[in-house]
Amino acid sequence: MSVYTTVTEDELTLWLKQYSLGTLTELRGIASGIENTNYFVTTTYGTFVLTLFEKLTAAELPYFLNLMAHLSRHGIPCPSPVAKQDNGFLAELKGKPACIVSCLKGKSLEAPTPAHCAQLGAMLADIHLAGKTFPLAMENPRGPRWWKATAPEVLPRLPEDQAALLQEELRHQSLYRFQDLPRGVIHADLFRDNALFDGDTLSGVIDFYYACNDVWLYDVAIVVNDWCIRAEGRLDTERTQALLRAYHGVRPLTAIERGAWPVMLRAAALRFWLSRLYDFHFPRPGELTHAKDPGHFQSILQRHTACQADLQGLWV
């Protein structure tokens, strides 16, 4: 359930007067999403998505809203924030930061084929390239600095084997710095549920609220760990190669990225294992239902650690 804050048609009609969006014709809550309140808003000019931010603050939002506007400007099919008459994207509704964005068609896929993975790989590369001229910057809030701060909180709660795996991975990652890998804007959370397909055509990428500036290859690794994974935690050769080849066709991968690939896949698995461990062991009130299984990324990390040579073999 993702309508935490209720908005009535009368409230919205009044609120919409600060926009140039025509007249409200329909308002409908959206059931998906776990961190914000979302509504479909239909006006005489079309259908849009209204988001009320339940956690993100007005200070954190300009990076995300301006990034979506920037990528839309470059033709990337992503939600495009609508400006108010004062030209700003950020508004306030019911005491919460709020915005309206364009509505994309399509729905997410659970079992993507190599052809779907190729489309996603190409679009991810286009997002990276289009982001080159984005003027704002944000450090990755779930990067190595966060790993180091969070691991000590989680470690005392872990069984011995998990604690050993986590400590060994943190040690392994600390040997690498990646200062010389190409970097820029990354989505950082482009799981299958954040991509929409209209039939078999990738029609949009959504949910940029984890976007930040980091190593591009790390973003590729996050995507591959979700889109190309088999049930047992191993990467699917065909999907992985389709995704990497398509990405490479738009933004050619370099020799140094080839060398960093296995470590990067492990880093991407570590990041989500650690955040899920934290959410599992330190649940926030009222959010228990959303805690995702940390075991999924633990398996992926173990598999990647055991089969590092295999990972290199999947390179394009």
Q: Which residues are at the interface with a second copy (CB under 8 A)?
A: 19-23, 44-46, 48, 69, 72-77, 80, 82-87, 100, 119, 122-123, 126-127, 129-130, 132-133, 201-202
Least distance in Å: CB of 165 to a second copy? 39
H-helix segments, the chain: 9-15, 61-73, 114-130, 144-154, 160-174, 216-227, 237-250, 255-281, 295-306, 308-313
Pairwise CA distance, residues 60 & 280, whole Å: 25
The answer to whether residues 67 and 99 touch, using CB atoms and an 8 Å cutoff, is: no
CB closer to a second copy out of 88 and 283: 88
Nearest to 290 by CA among 57, 35, 5: 35
CB closer to a second copy out of 152 and 199: 199
CB closer to a second copy out of 104 and 307: 104
Grouping H, G, I as helix, E, B as strand and the rest as coil, residue 57 is: coil
CB closer to a second copy out of 121 and 294: 121
Tally of residues, the chain: 316
Residue 7 Cα to chain centre, angstroms: 27
**Cα 107–Cα 205–Cα 173 angle in degrees, nearest 5:** 120
Least distance in Å: CB of 69 to a second copy? 7
Q: Residue 157: what residue type?
A: R
CB closer to a second copy out of 166 and 202: 202
Least distance in Å: CB of 68 to a second copy? 11
CB closer to a second copy out of 74 and 234: 74
Least distance in Å: CB of 38 to a second copy? 17
CB closer to a second copy out of 21 and 316: 21
Pairwise CA distance, residues 18 & 167, whole Å: 52
Least distance in Å: CB of 295 to a second copy? 36
235 phi/psi in degrees, rounded to 5: -75, 140
Least distance in Å: CB of 82 to a second copy? 4
What is the dihedral angle through the alpha carbons of 205, 196, 141, 266, rounded to the nearest 10 degrees? -110
Least distance in Å: CB of 312 to a second copy? 28
The answer to whether residues 316 and 217 touch, using CB atoms and an 8 Å cutoff, is: no
